[in-house]
Structure 1
Amino acid sequence: MTILGIGIDILHLPRLRQVLLKHPERFLTRILTRSEQAEFRAIQAKAGGQIDHDKPVQFLGARWALKEACYKAVYPHHKLTWQDVTVIKENGKPALSIPEQARFGIGKSHVSVSHDGDYLIGQVLIESPSPSSH
């Protein structure tokens, strides 16, 4: 395995909550892909419709941190946008879906997210594509 890059991001959830309350729709459509937006709305509905409930904020925080960490892992080789990366679940764990990862020269990704109190951290390791995938 050859590592293309590693990225990490830490987020203060109360700060994210303030931004979310100030500009909810603009913020959600900028950060989340359509499938992530649908998942966010379902979590928000379970939270009584509150956008600033802990679960929706943690959901959004995890996506923010993992996408930011992914960006850091591949930069300066590539400049990904928020919409180029979708955070999904595989076997109950977070994973990244990057539809055009071959075009971006990105191999397999490894992700981890953790939160404690007001803080959330996301870490991403990106492998270079294997020689057979070129």
Structure 2
Amino acid sequence: MTILGIGVDILHLPRIQRILLRRPDRFITRILTDIEQQEFRAIQESAGGEIDHQLLVRFVGARWALKEACYKAMFPHHKLTWQDVSVVKENGKPCLQILEKARFGIGNTHATVSHDGEYLIGQVLLESP
């Protein structure tokens, strides 16, 4: 295994909550891919439509942190965009789906998220093929 890059990002969840309350649609369509937006809407529906529900804030926060960490792992060789990376869950664990992975020289990806109170951290490790 050759490590291509490691990235980490920490964020204050109330910041995400404020952004969601101020401009939810603009923020969601900018940050989340189509598949992530569908999952967001399903969670929002189960939360009674509350845009600032704790589950939604953590959902968006986790995707923000993991995408930022992925960007940092690839920088300066490649500059990924928000829409280049989707975060999906497989067996309860976050997994990265990166568009054109081979073009970026990415093999296996590893991601983890942890949160405590108002803080959330995402870490990504990218391997070369």
TM-score range, shorter chain: over 0.9
* 1:1-134 mapped onto 2 (5 Å cutoff): 1-129=1-129
SS in 2 for 1:78: coil
Paired amino acid for 1:69: A
CA distance in 1, matches of 2:115, 2:92: 16
What TM-score do the two structures reach when normalised by structure 2?
A: 0.98
What TM-score do the two structures reach when normalised by structure 1?
A: 0.94
C-alpha offsets along residues 58-87 of structure 1, whole Å, 9 cap, x if unaligned? Answer: 000000000000000011111100000000
SS in 1 for 2:123: strand
SS in 2 for 1:36: helix
Question: Structure 2: any 5+ residue segments left out of the alignment?
Answer: none
Residue 132 (structure 1) aligns with: none
Question: Structure 1: any 5+ residue segments left out of the alignment?
Answer: 130-134
Runs of 4+ with >2 A deviation: none
Q: What's the RMSD between the two structures over aligned residues?
A: 0.7
SS in 1 for 2:79: coil
CA distance in 1, matches of 2:46, 2:59: 13
